[in-house]
Structure 1
């Protein structure tokens, strides 16, 4: 059985991972002032966004995840012919409508695929499996990596979905923002009051940065640090300890809202790289999606891994 993988554009995985594994990307449309971007994880489009210097003007940007019709067109136009089953992994349903859109689209896809496959000379049914990664950005990557690994190991669609859902429950995504004022403004524009005016003002004045965590569909602060570089070091050292304790999926994902070399020059990165290498853990590094930069600000960093339940200590 030919099993494929589809993700939405806000799932931060490297472009070479997408291309190497034939992962389909469900795009997100981003509108900033008079500028329009198609966020489909294309590095050229991400670079175009950064080159436009729109980061400071993106608080009121509009984002439009793939609609029900868009998902139907993607699957009926291509996926039902290329695969016999597709596992769709989306960022947390509590933060984006894309998961619900895929679920709704699946009804029409499963109702209308047969004539398309028959015309292409393909027999047999087509299946869809939809997984809420219950995480965002780099935090969604471990479930995607595990789904790909299970497919390559010849597992059945049911086994792939069950394992991906389990990894989603065990995934931890951490974010270190660079600009608290931007984060607050963007959150308020979306009706999210989680970053108060007072805390953002104090944070900016004292250079205090929160460490935010996404886990099982919820996001919130789990620590605070002084200065972005120090925060990166704290987060890298924490991730190194989790790697040494053992991960459920042998990968650590990183996304950064800027040039990756900037992230690689942050304190603690080199040590983390060495520890991952010693443990046989692959580092999946990628520029943050346009959607991610619009929502959390340029220069922010996210980190994700899957592990046994534990208490975050910062």
Structure 2
């Protein structure tokens, strides 16, 4: 059986990883003032966004996730011909409508795929398996990595679906923003009250940064630190401890809303890199998606891994 993976563009993973595993990206259209971007995780488009230095204006951006019709077209014109089973992985359904769009599109895809496959001489059923990773950005990476591992091991679709649901339920996505004023402005634009104005003003005045977590469909602060550099020290140090404690998937993904060459210079990163090397865990470095940057601000860090339930201690 020819199995594959499709993800939404907000799932942060390196472009090289996506190409190696032939992963399809469901794009998001991002409009900032007069500039329009196709967020499909292409390196050149992310760099174009960074080069334009849109800065604080990005909080007013309009993001348009792949519509139901777009998903249907992608599958009926391409994926039903190339695959026999596709696992569709999205960021948390509580933070984006893309999961709902894929579910709605699946009804029409599964109803009409035979009329596309049979004229091409392809027999047999086509399967879609939709997985809500229940987290955000780099937090979705462990679920996607596990999907590629299980497909490579030629596991049956039912077993893969069950395992991915388990990993999604134990996927942790962390985020450290640089600019609370930006985060507040973006939240207000989206009607999200999770970052209060008082907290943003107080935090910016005292240089206090929240460490946010996306876990099991809920997003909120789990720690506070004084300054961004102390924040990266705390976040990477915590991740290093989790690596040594044991992960459900041997991978950690870090995404950064800027030039990736800056990532290695952040305090605490070398400790995380060494912990991964010592424990045989793959450390994946990815540029944050354009969608991620307009939602949380440039220069932010997100980090994801999958582990058994544990108490967070920052």
Q: For the residues of structure 2 that align with 1:148 and 1:287, how far apart are their CA atoms?
A: 20
Aligned twin of 1:106? 106
Q: For the residues of structure 1 that align with 2:162 and 2:100, how far apart are their CA atoms?
A: 19
Q: CA deviation at 1:247?
A: 0.2
Q: How does 1:108-123 map to 2 (within 5 A)?
A: 108-123=108-123
Q: How does 1:50-199 map to 2 (within 5 A)?
A: 50-199=50-199
Aligned twin of 2:279? 279
Q: What is the total number of aligned residue pairs between the two structures?
A: 314
Q: How does 1:218-233 map to 2 (within 5 A)?
A: 218-233=218-233
Q: For the residues of structure 2 that align with 1:158 and 1:91, how far apart are their CA atoms?
A: 21
Deviations 1:124-165 (A, max 9, x none): 110100000001000011000001100000001111111111
Alignment check: 8 A CA contact 1:68 1:104 kept: yes
Alignment RMSD (CA, Å)? 0.6
Alignment check: 8 A CA contact 1:55 1:293 kept: no
Alignment check: 8 A CA contact 1:55 1:294 kept: no
Q: CA deviation at 1:55?
A: 2.7
Aligned twin of 1:254? 254
SS of the equivalent of 2:123 reads coil
Q: For the residues of structure 2 that align with 1:37 and 1:179, how far apart are their CA atoms?
A: 23
Alignment check: 8 A CA contact 1:6 1:87 kept: yes
Deviations 1:190-248 (A, max 9, x none): 11111111111111111110000110000000000011111001101000000000000
Aligned twin of 1:309? 309
Aligned twin of 1:203? 203
Any stretches of 5+ residues in structure 1 without a counterpart? none
2:213 matches 1:213? yes
Deviations 1:228-278 (A, max 9, x none): 111001101000000000000000010000011211101111121111001
Instruction: Calculate the TM-score normalised by the size of structure 1.
Output: 0.99
Aligned twin of 1:46? 46
Q: For the residues of structure 2 that align with 1:115 and 1:173, how far apart are their CA atoms?
A: 40
| Deviation beyond 2 Å, 4+ runs, structure 1 | none
Q: CA deviation at 1:280?
A: 0.4
Aligned twin of 2:29? 29
Q: For the residues of structure 1 that align with 2:226 and 2:262, how far apart are their CA atoms?
A: 19
Instruction: Calculate the TM-score normalised by the size of structure 2.
Output: 0.99
SS of the equivalent of 1:225 reads strand
Any stretches of 5+ residues in structure 2 without a counterpart? none
